[in-house]
């Protein structure tokens, strides 16, 4: 962790930036969420909740559990890479885990998780000085990139602990930006994980907080489906992030959501191939936002989905909805969030959990 020297707590700050930083910097590529789940389970227990980690890697926490609970679920996993091949010189070829824009990969610092510990690495590529004109103009292809861990050869890489199947995370530090914004890796969805942890305080009976696994690598979720099938909830609320398009090169008609203007209610996911929000839940969210005097943004999205898309059609239909935090640059090596949105997100969901 390199958080303390990067985080400056401004007077009047509401967020626990140290906790947000720990969540952001935790290693948790899909299927390897153990560091995140351990952190969350420990926090839940200290808050007085019962917490367990199920067979699929989900963290399940509650004060008391009865029939048909309400679930609030935030996925813990992040996009990343996985070791596919180690060549004779000790360089690593990889596959992408989750949706990643290849352009963001060049020369990024990364960390390789091995049985022997974490290894520092850099994603290398052919230098521009040696590229032909057509190569410079061509789109970046992850298959042409590799990871340099400083190994002498394949034997040295093996002795360092590198194996096929090792996960690789982006080595991006968590930082404050300005008075109320912050940046770091895995904002999608460690912001949602942070929100769940804040909801642990004063949690209502028969409300379950679930840190879900492998959301980023499924058509429509994995961990959320297994947890919901087991718990048979009366409703499911996906606590996730949404694309904030309030920056250059984006038009309002492409992404109308803005940072600092409140949480986001997602009505339709993946062009209705994913979750279509339950209308009663939509109205309840709007009513709770009004009671809490919270500005709320509304969106329909053609691409992308949340854990709600993996739950709504289980067991004859589970009313589901996604309430998200606006976040810039998701599905890249760094994202940007806003303190006011996170604080409002917590207040809105706390009210919603009490009234559903």
Active site positions, annotated: 215
- Tell me the three state secondary structure of residue 343: helix
Q: For residue 189, say if its preceding peptide bond is cis, omega within 30 degrees of 0.
A: yes
CA atoms within 13 A on the CB side of 48: 10
Degrees to nearest 5, angle at CA 48 with 47 and 52 = 95
Beta strands in 38-171 (DSSP E): 50-53, 59-62, 70-75, 80-86, 92-97, 109-114, 117-124, 146-148, 167-170
210 bridge partner residues: 60, 73
Element (H, E) at 346: helix 339-355
The answer to whether 254 and 245 are in contact (CB under 8 A) is yes
């Amino acid at each position: 962790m390199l958080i303390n020297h990067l985080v400056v707590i401004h007077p009047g700050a509401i967020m626990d930036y140290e906790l947000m930083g720990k969540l952001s910097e935790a290693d948790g590529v899909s299927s390897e969420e153990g560091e995140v789940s351990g952190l969350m389970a420990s926090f839940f227990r200290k808050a007085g909740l019962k917490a367990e980690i199920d067979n699929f890697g989900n963290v399940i926490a509650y004060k008391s559990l009865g029939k048909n609970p309400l679930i609030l679920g935030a996925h813990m996993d992040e996009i990343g890479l996985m070791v596919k091949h180690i060549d004779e010189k000790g360089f690593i070829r990889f596959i992408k885990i989750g949706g990643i824009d290849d352009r963001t990969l060049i020369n990024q610092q990364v960390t390789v998780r091995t049985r022997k510990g974490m290894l520092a690495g850099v994603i290398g590529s052919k230098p521009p000085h040696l590229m032909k004109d057509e190569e410079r103009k061509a789109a970046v292809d992850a298959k042409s990139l590799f990871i340099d861990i400083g190994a002498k050869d394949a034997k040295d890489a093996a002795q360092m602990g590198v194996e096929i199947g090792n996960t690789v995370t982006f080595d991006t530090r968590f930082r404050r930006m300005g008075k109320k914004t912050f940046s770091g890796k895995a904002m999608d969805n460690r912001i949602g994980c942070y929100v769940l942890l804040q909801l642990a305080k004063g949690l209502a009976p028969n409300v379950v907080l679930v840190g879900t696994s492998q959301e980023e690598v499924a058509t429509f979720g994995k961990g959320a489906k297994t947890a919901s099938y087991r718990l048979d909830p009366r409703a499911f609320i996906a606590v996730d992030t949404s694309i904030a398009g309030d920056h250059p090169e984006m038009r309002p008609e492409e992404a109308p959501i803005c940072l600092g203007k409140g949480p986001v209610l997602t009505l339709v996911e993946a062009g209705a191939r994913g979750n279509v929000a339950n209308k009663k839940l939509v109205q309840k969210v709007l009513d709770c936002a009004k009671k809490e005097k919270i500005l709320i943004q509304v969106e329909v999205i053609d691409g992308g989905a949340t854990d709600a898309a993996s739950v709504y059609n289980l067991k004859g239909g589970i009313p589901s909805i996604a309430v998200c935090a606006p976040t810039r640059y998701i599905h890249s090596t760094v994202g940007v969030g806003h303190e006011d949105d996170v604080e409002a997100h917590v207040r809105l969901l706390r009210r919603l959990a009490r009234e559903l």
